[in-house]
Amino acid sequence: MSAPGSVGQVAPRRMRFDAPLALRSGAAIAGYELVYETYGELNADRSNAVLICHALNASHHVAGTYGDDPRTAGWWDNMVGPGKPVDTNRFFVVGVNNLGSCFGSTGPMSTNPATGEPYGPDFPVVTVEDWVHAQARLADELGIARFAAVMGGSLGGMQALAWAILYPERIAHCVAIATAPKLSAQNIAFNEVARRAIITDPDFHGGRFYAHGVVPARGLQVARMIGHITYLSDDSMAEKFGRALRPSPEALAAQLAADGAAETEALPRSDYRFTFDVEFEIESYLRYQGEKFSKYFDANTYLLITRALDYFDPALAHGGDLAAALAPATADFLVASFTTDWRFAPERSREIVQALLAARKRVTYAEIDAPHGHDAFLLEDPQYMAVVAAYFDRIHARSAAGAGVAAPAPPQQEAAA
Amino acid sequence: MKPASRIPGAAPIAPALSAASAGLIPSGAGPVDRALRPDLAVIGRWIAPGSRVLDLGCGDGSLMAWLQASRGCTGYGVEIDHEAVLSCVRRGVDVVQRDIEAGLGMFGHDQFDVVVLSMAIQATHQTEKVLREMSQVGSEGIVSFPNFGHWYHAWSILRGRMPVSREMPYEWFNTPNLHLATVRDFEDFLRRLGLVITGRAFLADGQPVGWLPALRATQAIYRFRRSR
């Protein structure tokens, strides 16, 4: 077996959809575009397609690089590629950017054909289910009647679950990682703090900040900081930063002046400076992450995507009965969680498993002992990778044996099913 | 510490009957078993074709794999050990990674036709709770366990030594076994829990035992139901 590699250089593609897509809110959107990437080859009977759904701040760029710059590697490059758990020598992998995103698909930054201005706050509120219907249309265009697997982590896992419920005949396996059947009050609370930070930033201008040539950077920074805290475990933060103090600006400047000596030579401080500037390393890290984020992420998109998270609750239409919500599913499920994830804790994944068991679905559940909190689903933990790889071996074997071959499914589901 | 068989006349421990394959220690993703472990073969024969089965502490999933392939059964294994979980996934056995002592609350009442607990009950902390939950989750329960009443164990203790055997290949200081029982102890236990014994089988070194099973069996296998 050759060493796992990269899918290499990739390029995003774009698909336009002129027919209006009815949204769950009652609104509709027409003439929208989705950006997507594909890796590997679709086989002759079109039975080896895998859809990867992205989470809050990711995109269609799942694997590979743009040009030969390794810094442009896709967000799940450790998972998807030749010889990797989702092996592109076997599978045709599709990454798609969701509606409302700021990474190329039609979203709040796009021009509203009705006004000629950016949609901004007028972009319709989209839900996980709306995304799934839009993804299904893309699959139609790509000639994929049935996915061998739909896979995602966090918010992406919610999309995979929604696929299993909304398009049971179009998904053979559902891989839902570090996700939840619905947000808890605490989850929604974090989202609300993030949204309030953005909305109350004077530069937000009711969402029409594009016209003012500004972005609500402070709000985005705070939103990202609080989000980031919830992605890390207490232990991983303690290990990475502890209570380490940031060198004073003077010390850093002096160090720079001293002909750029190694960073490690900055003297560790042993006493406080008694200010509200950055004092601890964790503060410096969070500010850095916040600033970086505010430079590339759209504030309106952040509002939309956190709302999509809040609204996801497939059991709602069934009086809270998740097993009833999952009853239509015919897929086999892999559910995985991480022991130190407190944003979407293992208990939340077990709720999904419990409902699947009650609904008599085939499900495998892995509870991975990893120290990294919610972020673990993006990291290369050996146990995690091994379970996903073994499960995709199974998917491949069944697909090759004909079990995953598309039953001639109706080319398109009703969008507002 | 290499466990040794001290049963007189016992054949050397064959790889297929290692402690791992006997379910006493977590089994790795070892070679695929050609044949089922003897107690699992008995259990497999007891399970009706098409049954919905829950295998608690399923190890590498060999029983579930056999039941699926040979009996058309469906169901799940429950296993805490990561390597064993991986083996199950590789065999096409659905498995829920969970400590069975953390509770079977994920499984609804009477969700299964049969719930199996093979060669693991002696290592449970809350043995009574596990048995009670087992009997609620399925209509029938099957338990196999090492018979502590085997004559050799008594002999060993008479000689002043804790017994070490094929089914219990540990020294007193490193054994995971907490709750060892004799055949009679176990029958009393089932009755105390209001469970009705519907079948029993006894094995010595993998072979059926006819007479004096309470003394001669190294493994005992019981099936039971809730009394109506």
pLDDT tens track for B26-51: 333 333 345 899 999 999 999 999 99
pLDDT of residue B51: 98
User: What DSSP string describes B23-80?
Assistant: TSS---S-SPPSS--HHHHHHHHHSPTT-EEEEET-TTSHHHHHHHHHH--EEEEEE-
Q: Per mean pLDDT, which range of A97-111, A182-196, A334-348, B204-218 is the poorest?
A: B204-218
A383 interfacial to chain B (CB closer than 8 Å): yes
Q: Do B108 and A394 touch (CB under 8 A)?
A: no
Please check the confidence at residue A252 and state whether its pLDDT lies above 90: no
Which of A352, A364, A388 should one mutate to test binding to chain B, selecting the residue with the greatest count of B CBs within 10 A?
A364
Picking from A357, A364, A366, the nearest residue to B106 by CB comes out as A357
**Mean pLDDT, residues A345-370:** 97
Q: Would you place residue B21 in the very low, low, confident or very high pLDDT band (cuts 50, 70, 90)?
A: very low
Summarize pLDDT for A96-116 with one digit per residue, the tens.
999 999 999 999 999 999 999
pLDDT band of B25, cuts 50, 70, 90? very low
Active site residues of A: 154, 341, 374
- pLDDT above 70 (res A415): no
Mean pLDDT lowest among A188-192, A196-200, A388-392, B124-128: B124-128
Of the listed ranges B22-26, B93-97, B207-211, the one predicted with least confidence: B22-26
**Mutation target vs A (from B52, B76, B87, B89; most A CBs, 10 A cutoff):** B89
pLDDT of the residue at A411: 38
Q: Is A390 on the interface with B (CB under 8 A)?
A: yes
What percentage of chain B reaches a pLDDT higher than 90? Answer: 64
For residue A80, what are the contacts with CB-CB under 8 A and spacing of at least 6? A7, A39, A52, A62, A63, A74, A86, A88, A93
Please say if the pLDDT value at position A259 is more than 80: no
**pLDDT interval class at A2 (50, 70, 90):** very low
Q: Looking at the complex, does the CB of residue A350 fall below 8 Å from at least one CB of chain B?
A: yes
Q: Is A281 an 8 Å CB contact of chain B?
A: no
Residues A318-340: tens digit of each pLDDT: 999 999 999 999 999 999 999 99
Is it the case that residue B22 has pLDDT exceeding 50?
no
The answer to whether the Cβ–Cβ distance between A386 and B96 falls below 8 Å is no
B109 to chain A, closest Cα gap in Å: 10
CA distance B225 to chain A (A): 22
Q: What value does the mean pLDDT take over residues B66-84?
A: 97
Confidence of residue A20 (pLDDT cuts 50, 70, 90): very high
Closest-CA residue of B relative to A352 is B106
Identify the pLDDT of residue A183. Answer: 98
Residue type (1 letter), A183? L
Chain B residues with CB under 8 Å of a chain A CB are: 52, 74, 76, 82, 85-86, 88-90, 92, 94-98, 105-108, 111
Q: What pLDDT does residue B1 have?
A: 36
- How many CB pairs (< 8 A) connect A and B? 51
Residue B7 has pLDDT above 50, yes or no: no
When pLDDT is averaged across residues B114-128 and rounded to a whole number, the result is 92
Q: Higher-confidence residue: A62 or B152?
A: A62
Asked if B89 and A363 come within 8 Å (Cβ–Cβ), the reply is no
**Identity of the residue in B95, B97, B111 whose CB atom sits nearest the CB atom of A357:** B111
Q: Measured between beta carbons, which residues in chain B are less than 8 angstroms from residue A363?
A: 76, 94, 96
Average pLDDT, chain B: 85
Q: Do B108 and A369 touch (CB under 8 A)?
A: no
**Phi and psi angles of residue A152, each rounded to the nearest 5 degrees, phi first:** -165, 160
A179 and A168 Cβ atoms separated by less than 8 Å? no
Q: Residues of chain A with pLDDT > 70: what percent?
A: 93
| Residue of A247 and A28 predicted with greater confidence | A28
Lowest mean pLDDT: which of A12-16, A389-393, A400-404, B125-129?
A: A400-404
Q: Does residue A70 surpass a pLDDT of 60?
A: yes
What is the ipTM, given to two decimal places?
0.90
**So what's the pLDDT on residue B32?**
39
Mean pLDDT for chain A overall? 93
pLDDT number for residue A258? 73
Find the CB nearest A353 among B82, B89, B106: B106
Q: Above 50 in pLDDT, residue A50?
A: yes
Instruction: Note which residues in 300-339 of chain A have CB less than 8 A from chain B.
Output: 332
Looking at residue A175, its pLDDT comes to: 98
